[in-house]
Amino acid sequence: MKIKVKVVPSSKKVNIVNIDQNFLKINLVSSPQKNKANRELIEILSKHFNVKKTSVRILKGFSSPIKLIEIDEK
């Protein structure tokens, strides 16, 4: 499954908002420095979709707030 995600780093608390069936807005506590926000994003998505962290990959937008994520649902 592929989804688009808009990431808002350095928020006060973690929050996931369904904008569309394939588009999420996620507020992260981590800052974007040193890949912290991307690691937190992968952890949150793995818990949200109940998959392993290795099943969540950032395909596009590694350093952008809009990301294309692939999730293997095995």
Domains identified in the chain and CATH numbers = 2-71 (3.30.1200.10)
In contact, 9 and 30? CB cutoff 8 Å? yes
The pLDDT of residue 44 is: 96
Q: So what's the pLDDT on residue 45?
A: 96
Backbone torsion region of residue 68, taken as left when φ is above 0, otherwise alpha when ψ lies between -120 and 50, otherwise beta: beta
Position 21 scores a pLDDT of 87
Q: From CA 64, how far away is CA 73, in angstroms rounded?
A: 25
Q: Which residues pair with 33 in a beta bridge?
A: none
Determine the pLDDT at residue 74.
Answer: 67
All residue ranges of the chain with pLDDT < 70 are 74
The pLDDT of residue 11: 94
End-to-end CA distance of the chain: 11
